[in-house]
Each structure stands twice: as C-alpha cells, then as structure tokens.
Amino acid sequence: MDISTKCVRAGAKKHDDTGAVSVPIYQSATFSHIGVGESTGYDYSRLQNPTREHLEKLIAAIESGFDAMAFSTGMAAITALFEIFSPGDEIISSDDLYGGTFRYFKNVAEKHGLKFVFVDTSDLKNIEDNITENTKALFIETPTNPMMKITDVRSAAELAKSRGILTIVDNTFLTPYLMRPFDMGADIVVHSGTKFLAGHNDTLAGFLVVNSPPLSEKLRYIYKTTGACLSPFDSWLVIRGIKTLAIRMEKSGENALKIAKFLRSRPEINKVYFPGFEDSDGYLVNKKQASGAGSMISFETVDKETALKILKKVKLILFAESLGGVETLITYPYTQTHADVPADIREARGINEKLLRISVGIENAEDLIEDLKNALEAES
C-alpha cells in the first residue's frame, strides 16, 4: 500500500460499533475492569489509550517500524530515549543539530554521565574516527538544522551496525513521506510530531519509532514509567494532520524549490542552503535516500541589517519559531532556535547574524515570493 493511502487509512483499528469514520477521542484517564485479572486491553491512559494507540499504529505503519510511542513533545521523546543508555556510554551526534536537542545533550544528559561527540556526519570518516569501545549510538539529523547538510543514512547505519552501535535518525524534517530510515538500516526513528506530522502549528507531539521487539519492550517500560505521553485530544489532532501529510509535503516541497530559486537570484542574498538544488553538496545522497528535499530553506543575507529588515518587513510570512506547518514561518536561528549553542560553535557552523531559516508552508508560492520581494526592497 502506498504511503499516501496509509496516511489516510492506517492505524484504523475499529474501536466501537457506531461506524465513526474519525477515530473517537477517548477522553478517559482510566478504564474499568471486567473482573479480577481481566482487562479490556486498556487500564490507565499513561500506559495506553485507544485514541493514542490508533495514532501510534499509524506512525509505525508510515515509518515501516515495529512499534511507535507518542509523547507530549519531541524533546520528551528524545529525553525518554536516552534513558536506555548508562553512565560512560558515548554517543556520536551530528554537530549541526536542533538547538533543543543540543541543549539536552550538553546540559542535561551529560550530567548523567553520557558523553556526546559532535561531528559533521555528512562525512562518514568523521563518524568512523570517533568510534570507541564505549560508543553506543549514532544520532543523525538529515537534512541538518539549520545548515541542511545531508548524511548518507545507509552507509552510516551499515558502519554503526558492524560496530554494534545503534543508529538513531531524527526524521522530523523529511517525514516518512519523503524518507524511511528503517529501510536503510536505522534502529530508532525520532520525530518532533509538532512539525510536519501534525502540520498545523496547533499542537506539540513527539514520537519514538523502533523496528525491533527488544527495543520496543525497553522503551515501553521507560514510556509508562516516566509518563510524558500524548493526550487523547492531541493524539486526535495529529491523526487528523497526518491524513493530509502527503499533499502537504508535495505542495510545500514545490513551493520551497520556487522560493529557494527566487532567493538565489537576489543580490541581497549571499548563499541559499537547500538540498533540492542540484549543485548543493548533499543533493545526490539525498536524492538516493529520499523522494524529495523537503521544505526547509536557510539563507545568508549580505549583512545583518538585511536579515533584520526581512524579519521586520515580511507580512504574509510569520516571524515565529517552529516549522512544518501549513503557515510559512521565518526564524532567526542565531538568537532563537540555536541561541543555546555556544557562540564560537555557532559561528564556525555558519549560524551567524546574517542567517535566516524559512519553513515553507502551503500558501501560493507567488504570494510568498511577493512578500519576500517586498521585504527585500523595503526601506529599512
């Protein structure tokens, strides 16, 4: 079955006899027992809830995974995931990373004795050179946030597997509609469901998806014990969002290519980072492993004043953090999403005061381009 059909129909376990086409919101904290030692399959909503279960089956189906767990946020999912590691374990991570994940690794997880090595994972040699006998996992974002670097997931997972290391992929940017890491050997897929999966900038959510029963068992135990589960209503919102994932990803991807080309044609822009450009560094690898380049664009303006002017003058495009929704958003990674990355590291990675990031939505592309053109040409 094609993924676009799964997005609309998967997870559909029949929950009641009414014939309801939309899965009901089971707004219940607890479930009554038929008798001692008997259960309807539901006991308490921290463990499982029928609405959330529907969503989890849907996510597992579209990622081609064995099990999926729905969390209250992406960060809650990532935090729960790192409970499987022990003090002394080392993790090799992409160095260009979502700011919140970097903050969690450096300021929270390291306190518990985990060690993180940040490398440019787009070059496999950087991974290989940093593997030690304590390395337990590889954490990859591709495209990276915000510099859009591409890592070869298949080669990285192959290398990791040969050394007994878990491969974890944060698939927030491309979603399973464009890339399925399990097909390339990954062990765990992470999502901020807040972004493209939910897709409407109206709820927060996170997912851990695994492709093996032992990992599922381990993480389910942590999941029910630590309790950052997604509410029934938010689960329902994400289910509804995913119904249109395929058409949203198609439309925002088409828009992104048009906008990236427009930005590249402008004298006020130094450089556009977009893996959909045939001459971009990661183009061929991304083309091999994903069916599209997504709808995230970063670009560097000629000077700081131009970047600030764009943020001030855009009207249709909203100056807001987050990404992946139907509304086009623009952010300033330097002071927003990546403010907690130390200044020298930020600069070295190109996250400077001239860098802007756009999450392209599903509005009309010409309207969005017009808005950017007006902002670029406005008096500051």
Of the pair 256, 375, the CB lying nearest ligand PLP is at: 256
Instruction: By CB under 6 A, tell whether 275 contacts ligand PLP.
Output: no
Q: Out of 15, 24, 42, 100, point to the residue binding ligand PLP (CB under 6 A).
A: 100
Q: Is 98 one of the catalytic residues? A: yes
The phi and psi torsions of 242 (rounded to 5 degrees) equal: -65, -25
Nearer to ligand PLP, 103 or 261 (CB): 103
Which residue among 11, 74, 275, 276 contacts ligand PLP (CB under 6 A)?
74
Question: Among residues 131, 184, 204, 230, which is the contact residue for ligand PLP, using CB under 6 A?
Answer: 204
Question: Is position 195 annotated as part of the catalytic site?
Answer: yes
| Inter-residue contact 170 to 153 (CB < 8 Å) | no
144 sits near ligand PLP (criterion: CB under 6 A)? no
Q: Distance between CA 159 and CA 182 in Å, rounded?
A: 15
DSSP 44: B
Q: Is 340 a catalytic residue?
A: no
Angle, CA 102 vertex, CA 97 and CA 103 arms, to 5°: 150
Tell me the site size for ligand PLP, rule CB under 6 A: 15
Considering the complex, state which of residue 56 and residue 141 has its C-beta at the smaller distance from ligand PLP. Answer: 141
135/337 with CB nearer ligand PLP: 337
* Nearest alpha-carbon partner for 339 in 7, 103, 69: 103
Q: Is 283 a catalytic residue?
A: no
Q: Nearest to residue 201, comparing CAs of 189, 193, 190?
A: 193
Q: Which residue from 237, 262, 235, 256 is spatially nearest to 369, judged by alpha carbons? A: 262
Among 136, 195, 309, 349, binds ligand PLP (CB under 6 A): 195
Which tokens is 343 given? 């200044």
Q: Among 49, 151, 172, 295, which residue interacts with ligand PLP (rule: CB under 6 A)?
A: 172
Q: Show contacts with ligand PLP in window 122-141 (CB under 6 A).
A: 141
Report the residue number, 238 or 272, with the smaller CB distance to ligand PLP.
Answer: 238
Alpha-carbon 287 to chain mean position: 19
**Cβ-closest residue to ligand PLP?**
74
Among 145, 201, 216, 298, the residue binding ligand PLP under the rule CB under 6 A is 145
Euclidean distance between CA atoms 289 and 291, whole angstroms: 7
Q: What's the DSSP call for residue 230?
A: P
Contact predicate 105/133, CB 8 Å: no
Q: The tokens of 65 are what?
A: 């995974």
Q: Which residues are catalytic?
A: 46, 98, 170, 195
Binding site for ligand PLP (CB under 6 A): 73-75, 98, 100-101, 141, 145, 170, 172, 192, 194-195, 204, 206
